[in-house]
Structure 1
Amino acid sequence: MDITHLETLIENDQLAELIALLSQQPQLAVQNTSHQISPILLACYYKKPQIAQAIAEFVPELTLFDACAIGKFEDVTLLIFKNPASVNEYSVDGFTPLGLACYFGHEEIASFLVLKGAEVNVPSKNGFNVFPIHSAVAANNFTITKMLLDAGAYPNVCQKSGAAPLHTAAQLGNIELIILLLEHGAEVTLRMEGGKLPADLAAEKGFHEIAEILRDDD
């Protein structure tokens, strides 16, 4: 059996089979997948946190990126202590530790990374131009989004698609996030590629009251 079998078990959420496989071949836990990322990161991207935690049990020492993705605060603090400069390094798939912590909603880790000098206004290095604030809003996380804005995150940065954080918050229908972004200077007139405004995305999802609020200044 090889790494592709492990990938299948991750994708299909087969926890017992995965543990049995790694018990026999623990080296698979630290082998890069066909996606060129670790099995832990793959499990996180598939939204399989239990699987990711199980894989971590077979990893002698987590990387900073894996620790940020699965929420291992003690591992993160130790790794940053050993190598402070790593706080602004990039994973193989182009994300910073802060970007991963934000996307997977680990508030304590995200705050710690910012405290230790993580840049809040740097995009991913993978062509998608995703900033930490995009990841925080995509995770529907008010606490991390506020922490980033308070730390100086720009509210109107755009991903490759032209989507700003307000577009995502509007699509999610999260009025608290929308108000937070507006209070920090988010612009309702920003258009994505194709011309859609945040109000348009809210309306498409059936959030008509929110759409009206976002059209007020249009």
Structure 2
Amino acid sequence: MGIAQLEEQIEAGNLQAVKQILVENPKLANTNTSHQISPLLLACYYKKQEIADLIAEFTDNLTLFEACAVGKFDAATLAVFQNPERVNEFSDDGFTPLGLACYFGHEELARFLVLKGADVNLASKNGFNVFPIHSAVAANNFNITKMLLDAGAYPNVCQKAGLAPLHTAAQLGNIELIILLLEHGAEVSLRMEGGKLPADLAAEKGFHEIAEILRDDD
């Protein structure tokens, strides 16, 4: 059993098969996948939390990025205490520790990173231009989004294709997130590449009342 088989079982969400492969060949936990990321990060990106937790048990030394993605608070805090400057470094695939913690919904960890100097307005370095606030809103996480905004996150930053946080919140139909963003200065008039407003995305998803609210404010 090699890395290709491990990758295949991670993608399939087969916990027992992943465990069997790692028991037979523990070193695979520390071998990069074809996506040029670790098996643990791959499991996180596929939203396979149980599998990610399992792989973490076989990983020799979790990186700060892996710890932030999988939500291992103790490992992440230790890494930051040992190398404080790492809070604003980038993973091999271009994300910051804070961006990963926000995207995967690890609120306590995200708060810790901000407390330790993580830049809430530092975008990913991989062509996607994803800011932590984009990750928090995409995760549909009110608490982390509020924490970022309270810490000075800009509400109108745009990632690739001109997608602002309000576009995503509108698309999700999350009225609490929408109100939070509006209260912090999010602009309803921001257009994506192609010209779509947040109201347009809400309407496309069937959230017609939200679309009207956003249009009324326009």
Cα drift, residue 217 of structure 1:
2.6
- State the Cα distance separating 1:82 from its structure 2 match: 0.5
Is residue 2:72 matched to residue 1:72? yes
Structure 2: which amino acid aligns with 1:63?
A: T
Q: Deviations over 1:142-176 (max 9, x none)?
A: 00000000000000000111010000000000000
In structure 1, the partner of 2:170 is 170
Tell me the SS of whatever aligns to 2:58.
coil
Shift of 1:137: 0.1
Equivalent residue, structure 2, for 1:6: 6
Aligned length: 218
Per mean C-alpha deviation after superposition, the further-off stretch among 7-16 and 146-155 is 7-16
The answer for the alignment partner of 1:120 in structure 2 is: 120
Q: Deviations over 1:165-213 (max 9, x none)?
A: 0000000000000000000000000000110000000001111110011
Q: Which string of whole-angstrom CA distances, capped at 9 and with x for unpartnered residues, describes residues 108-158 of structure 1?
A: 000000000000001100000000000000000000000000000000000
Query: Which structure 2 residues correspond to residues 45-84 of structure 1 after superposition, within 5 A?
Result: 45-84=45-84
Question: What residue is the counterpart of 1:132 in the other structure?
Answer: 132
What is the RMSD of the two structures over their aligned residues, measured on CA atoms?
A: 0.6
Match of 1:183 in 2: 183
**What TM-score does the superposition give when structure 2 sets the normalisation length?**
0.99
The one-letter amino acid of 2:79's match is: L
Distance in 2 between residues matched to 1:17 and 1:123, nearest whole Å = 36
SS at match of 1:161: helix
Identity, % of aligned positions: 78
| Farther off after superposition, 180-189 or 11-20 | 11-20
Q: In 2, Cα distance between the equivalents of 1:14 and 1:189?
A: 44
1:158 aligns with 2:151: no
Task: Give the AA of the match of 2:37.
Answer: I
Structure 2 Cα separation of the partners of residues 217 and 6 of structure 1: 50
For the residue of structure 2 that corresponds to 1:127, the secondary structure is coil
> SS of the residue aligned with 1:182?
helix
TM-fit CA distance, 1:24:
1.3
Give the counterpart letter for 1:125 in structure 2: K
User: How many Å separate the matches in 1 of 2:179 and 2:20?
Assistant: 48
Counterpart-to-counterpart distance in 1, 2:185 and 2:142: 16
CA distance in 2, matches of 1:20, 1:208: 48
Q: Distance in 2 between matches of 1:16 and 1:163?
A: 38
Query: Which letter does structure 2 place at the counterpart of 1:5?
Result: Q
SS in 2 for 1:57: helix
SS of residue paired to 1:37: coil
**1:102-113 equivalent positions in 2, closer than 5 A:** 102-113=102-113
